Amino acid sequence: MSTRATAAKASVNIVTTFLARVQALADDPDALDFTFGNPHEMALPGLPAALRAQVEPRSVDWFAYQTSDRGAQEAVAAGLSAELGLAFEPDDIAMTQGAFGAISLAFALLADAGDEVVIPVPGWFCYEPILHAANLVPVRAALDTETFDLDVDAIARAITPRTRIVIVNSPANPTGRVYPKATWDALASVLDDASRTHGRRIWLLSDEPYRRIRFDGIAFASPAGSYPWTVIDYSFGKVLLAPGQRLGYLALSPLVPADERDELRAAFMPLGLAIGWGFPDAVMQYSVAALEKLSIDMAELTRKRDRMYDALTAAGYEITRPEGTFYLWGRAPGGDAQAFCDALEARGVYVMPGLLFDQPHHFRISLTATMPTIERAIPHLLDVGAEHDQ
């Protein structure tokens, strides 16, 4: 096995071990599952209808090899332009297999073997394995340990002459934080200075799969509006709560200087091919315009967020109130998240230990669980919380 395969496997080991451990969930109808952000209810009614509408071939080449479908690129560019207030063009968009595929494409597009990529901690547990598989070097930059705000100074300290990309994620997994424009402006100034100091442009990869999942009308700002050298990755898997139907994109900020923008646009197709035919299936791409109009029920998700947050904080839990995503991030009573998660598991309640995010004192709850599941779990969470909070 290659050294990068070994490194990728090692960096995701804790996640695969956890997955194996919670396999029992599939066989236990009484398990109260708050682990991964998977659906627990039947799909949005509009989703199968949108896909079905595109299954019947309309031409002989309906199922031919598809790179980025023009209609999909146009629908995404129009949606993004309206959402972010920047003038995206269809050619700025590369259609991908979800955010996973877009992140891999960004690495192939921007970084050379051995380059360093700064990632947030706590942050999504797949950045590191994807980086290892791409022969790149993850460098961790801690978020603020109390508020989980982006710590721009920590990012500045993590940058070296080998830094090529900084990854940011808002709304953030696992913390649910949404960062304001002022944060991006401060980061842009750090990245500009560091790029000048080291004589090499540092790119920003804005990982935005939860962009449309926000609570209480909180505004969304993309760093693409603050720093021209930004690429955005997105997935439809979150907003549709259908992560198995792989669909997403990588978008170049329209503010990327024109000569670089042309060069990168021209590289989308050959690299999409080179990373293993990273384009989404044809039917998924034909459905984009219809899928752009669909979303999980945010009112129901807000009710679930409020019910869980209010019950836990009233019992003394320290919870970061989610501003976005469908996760709830808290400090484990007693401080030992593994012991806390084990005690919950003994009662049939499964939450994600913070160790998967390099945070041994925290845990994450996925609010994709149903309201009845939440109601059944709350008494257990309160009991176990009281037992551990010595």
Summarize as ranges the residues that interact with ligand PLP (CB under 6 A): 37, 98-100, 124, 169, 173, 207, 209, 235, 237, 243, 248
Shortest gap between Cβ of 103 and ligand PLP (angstroms)?
7
Q: Which of 315, 310, 331, 313 is nearest to 386 (CA)?
A: 315
Answer yes or no: are the C-beta atoms of 2 and 127 closer than 8 Å. no
What is the nearest approach in angstroms of ligand PLP to the Cβ of residue 36?
8
**In the block, which residue shows the tokens 């979800």?**
98
Nearer to ligand PLP, 97 or 385 (CB): 97
Yes or no: say if 205 and 243 are a contact pair by the CB < 8 Å rule.
no
Min dist CB 259 to ligand PLP, Å, is 30
Residue whose pair of structure tokens reads 């004589």 in the numeric block: 199
Q: Cβ of residue 243: shortest distance to ligand PLP, in angstroms?
A: 5
Nearest approach in angstroms of CB 39 to ligand PLP is 12
Paired sense of beta strands 248-252 and 93-96, if any:
antiparallel
Q: Which ranges of 111-205 would DSSP assign to H, the alpha helix?
A: 127-133, 152-158, 181-198
Tell me how far apart the 2 most distant CA atoms of the chain are, in Å: 68
Three-state DSSP at 319 gives strand
Q: Name the minimum Å distance from CB 126 to ligand PLP.
A: 7
Q: Which is nearer to ligand PLP, 223 or 248 (CB)?
A: 248
Question: Cβ closer to ligand PLP: 100 or 268?
Answer: 100
- Label the pairing between strands 163-169 and 349-350: unpaired
Closest to ligand PLP by CB, 243 or 324: 243
CA 301 from chain centre, in angstroms, equals: 18
**Is the Cβ of residue 294 or residue 378 nearer to ligand PLP in the bound state?**
294
Which of 177, 261 has the CB closer to ligand PLP?
177
CA nearest neighbour of 26 among 43, 42, 40? 40
Q: In the bound complex, which residue of the shown chain has the CB atom lying closest to ligand PLP?
A: 98
